[in-house]
Copies of this chain bind each other. A is one copy, B any other.
Amino acid sequence: MTASYYDKLCRTWQRLYHYSHAASILGWDRNAMMPPKGNTARAAAEAELQGLMHRVRTDPKLADELRAAESESLTDIERANLREMRRDWREANALPESLVQAKSLAGAECEHAWRAQRAANDWPGFLENFREVVRLSREEATLLAADSGLSRYDALMDRYEPGVRSADIDRIFGDVKQWLPQLITRVQAKQRDEPVIAPAGPFPVARQRAMNLAIMQKLGFDFDSGRLDESAHPFSGGVPEDVRLTTRYREDDFVQSLMGTIHETGHARFEQNLPREWLGLAIGRARSYGLHESQSLSFEMQLARGRAFTDLLAPLLRQHFGDQPAFAPDNFHRVLTRVKPGFIRVNADEVTYPAHIILRYEIERALVEGDIEPDDIPALWDEKMQTLLGLDTRGNFKDGCLQDVHWSDGSFGYFPSYTLGAMYAAQWFAAMRGATPDLDARIATGDFTPVFDWLKTRVWSQACRWETPELVRRASGEALNPAHFRKHLETRYL
């Protein structure tokens, strides 16, 4: 028997899937391919698409269809899919199309200008566009909050981490702030006496690219369903059928690009392994940004910066860059696990990384809630960098509050996902080691099957089948438990 309202809804979401395919490829192209003068027309086209998708999601007939579908006879899967459609619908209906388009447009323009402004350390120039982005984001947050009963910041964060609240984050980050500074100090003291030989460049871009492609291959990336290109700010974009990764190269340092590529490959394998039969359905997407990040960090931090993996890296490094003492596995592992407080989040080691996130979380929450204004950011940034990492960033906007792309297009509420992801990843590997005691020995031989099978069965294939706490419990046998992350850091670094 046909569940007709449910089917109608699925057809509408299928249309949305096609439109968002277009939007994703346009976004990838804007960042990886588009020449500068293309930006105004592109921003207008992307805003038009956002407006269109918004109109589809707010079509008045959907309210009736969603209600009617609830009383149809549905399988569990269909019911989960209906739940996800309702979530999309509710979020969209809280916002008027004019705001969605205005924000898309202002975000695209601010982000585009940011690329040059960051390089020029031009905070005042950035502020001119950014004030409007903040104004529109607050308007958005206010409307979403009114609809959901959440606080303004929580209403934004809910789009990236459904169900996670700032009370949770405060608790988790509050705990981290207790032990992190001391851990950083201890690790630095320990590493002070460990000799480490830095790789000696230059490393030509073409060879770095070949090395990156080789490692992607080893990590199971499907090149018939994706590409690796370059962009100023590396990301994983595109669509599940065609994942577009980017990286950036510096000839004096291949490690950044290599580790960045491994990171994005984790995102990519999640997308490439979402259940094919669910693609185009609301249930067929990755559950949350934190879970997505748990995949990139499983690949980069848990797997690739582990001691076992460096045994595999050594011959590849020698093949692509020639032999040098730095590539000896013990030494290269020290290169990959060196802890050093620094200005730049994306270059941070996994021990200091949470500090970068806590800082951003505290600032963006205050900004969205209206407790501070955009003009206040640099001073707060300086203060928190001083407290958390002992670094002075005064006047250095480029390596301070201008370094990230996220705020430029109004993606407030996203940053906590990074550290949630790191915590999930540690939890996954703890569970994997429980199930496969010789995990590291097998990784050292190049056998990643236990890792990929575990992730595929418990995360990739689950898409939006379960709400996050249920997914986490089913995957690892317990709720999110940040103790695994702390333990992982202490085991690896002390």
**Could you tell me the distance between the alpha carbons of A105 and B222 in the complex, rounded to whole angstroms?**
25
One of A34-42, A64-72, A302-310, A455-463 contacting the partner = A34-42
Contact B239 A35 (CB under 8 A): no
Q: Are B18 and A225 in contact (CB under 8 A)?
A: no
A196: min CB distance to chain B, Å: 36
Contact of A239 among B25, B36, B38 (CB under 8 A): B38
Q: A223 contacts B35, CB within 8 Å?
A: yes
Residue A291 at the chain B interface, CB threshold 8 Å? no
Bound-state CA distance A25–B21 (Å) is 12
Q: What is the distance, in angstroms, from A276's C-beta to the closest C-beta of chain B?
A: 11
Q: Which among A44-52, A258-266, A324-332, A426-434 touches the partner chain?
A: A44-52
Contacts of A240 in B (CB 8 A): 41
Is A349's CB within 8 Å of the partner chain B?
no
A37 pairs with B227, CB closer than 8 A: no
Q: Do the beta carbons of B225 and A33 come within 8 Å of each other?
A: no
Minimum distance in angstroms from A253 CB to a CB of chain B: 24
Instruction: Provide the bound-state CA to CA distance between A36 and B18, in Å.
Output: 18
A214 at the B interface (CB under 8 A): no
| Interface size class of chain A, counting residues whose CB lies under 8 Å from the partner chain | 35 or more
Contact A45 B26 (CB under 8 A): no
Residues of B within 8 A of A44 (CB): 18, 21
Query: Which secondary structure characterizes the binding site on chain A?
Result: helix
Known: A19-B48, A22-B26, A48-B18. A41 touches B224 (CB 8 A): no
Distance, CA A222 to CA B19, complexed state (A): 30
Question: How far is the CB of A359 from the nearest CB of chain B, in Å?
Answer: 36
Q: Which B residue's beta carbon lies closest to that of A34?
A: B242
Q: What string of 1s and 0s marks CB contacts (under 8 Å) between A94-106 and chain B?
A: 0000000000000
A29 near B37 (CB under 8 angstroms)? no
Residue contact B26 to A224, C-beta cutoff 8 Å? no
The CA-CA distance from A26 to B52 in the complex, in Å, is: 17
Which positions 224-241 of chain A face chain B at CB distance < 8 Å? Answer: 224-227, 239-241
Residues of B within 8 A of A35 (CB): 223-227, 242
The answer to the question of A207 belonging to the interface, with a C-beta cut-off of 8 Å to chain B, is no
Assembled-state Cα–Cα distance A15/B97 (Å): 15
CB pair A45 B22 closer than 8 Å:
yes
A229 closest partner in B (C-beta) = B33
Expressed in whole angstroms, the Cα–Cα distance for A23 and B21 within the complex equals: 11
- A37 contact from B25, B26, B222, B279, Cβ within 8 A: B222
- On chain B, the residues within 8 Å of A26 by CB distance are 22, 25-26
Q: Of residues A19, A25, A42, A222, which shows the largest number of chain B Cβ atoms within 10 Å of its Cβ?
A: A25
Question: How distant is A12 from chain B, measured CB to nearest CB, in Å?
Answer: 12
Q: Is the CB of B33 within 8 A of A45?
A: no
**What are the residues of chain B within 8 A of A226 when measuring CB–CB?**
35
CB pair B48 A15 closer than 8 Å: yes
Nearest CB to that of A32 among chain B residues? Answer: B33
Do A242 and B21 touch (CB < 8 A)? no
Return A217 CB to nearest CB of chain B, in Å: 14
Smallest CB separation, A271 vs chain B (Å): 12
**Cβ of A279 to closest chain B Cβ, rounded Å:** 8
A41-B20 Cα distance, complex, nearest whole Å = 11
A24: nearest chain-B partner, CB-CB: B45
Min CB–CB distance A392 → chain B (angstroms):
37
Contacts of A239 in B (CB 8 A): 38, 41
Partner of A49, one of B22, B223, B242: B22
| Contact residues in B for A19 (Cβ distance below 8 Å) | 45, 48-49
Q: How far is the CA of A29 from the CA of B25 in the complex (A)?
A: 8
> What B residues does A279 contact at CB under 8 A?
41
Q: Which 8 A-B pairs have the closest CB atoms?
A: A38-B242, A18-B48, A21-B45, A41-B241, A37-B225, A18-B45, A37-B224, A22-B22
Besides the contacts A15-B48, A37-B242, A41-B242, what 13 more A-B pairs have beta carbons closer than 8 Å? A18-B49, A19-B48, A21-B41, A21-B42, A22-B45, A22-B48, A33-B33, A33-B227, A35-B225, A37-B225, A38-B239, A41-B239, A52-B52
